[in-house]
Amino acid sequence: MSNIDRRRAPHEPVIVIGPRRRVELFERAVPVGAPLLVFEDLDALDQWRSASATSSGVRREVLIALRQLGCDPARLDARLQRTLEWLGEQPSVPERLPTSEHGASRRTFYRLWGAQIPEAPSQFCLRVRALHALRLEHEGQPRTDAAYDAGFRSVRDMMRAVERFARIELPDSDR
């Protein structure tokens, strides 16, 4: 176990500030699956942090996903609306949606969801995560950063999801 492993969570990024030609020295110490972020200087790091801090969550991606599925958010049950509003406020898409925290039991939540949204909650989250990764990449983030910031475990997982759910081109107003 390297010093890097002892002080960080498993999927937390490792940040290196310095010349890119020295990155190979750190790549061997970074655990598999952990993102390695390299910045030439502190100004570049500060610029990245400020851009990350102003992220608006995944609200746009939730609305686009609902539109792709032919759902009108205003016509959904209030409990589903609260869950989707909560999801839209998150900086990345969680693995699971909270089922009972927004006024419905787990069983009722899944029954309501199935009656009003034609895609399982896990698949909906994957769709939103793929759309979020596309937006981050479109905004200029490197593919690796976009994948991890969107909540994917790897770039390969992100690419599979994007291929699966990017059937519909995003309108210019939503980019």
Residue ranges per domain, the chain?
1-54, 57-175
pTM for the full model?
Answer: 0.64
pLDDT band at 173 (very low <50, low <70, confident <90, very high): very low
* Number of C-beta neighbours around residue 136 at 10 A: 23
Per-residue pLDDT tens digits for 40-77: 778 777 766 665 555 568 898 999 899 888 899 889 99
* Number of C-beta neighbours around residue 150 at 10 A: 27
Domain 57-175 has CATH 1.10.3720: no
Cα–Cα distance for residue pair 168/175, rounded to 1 Å: 13
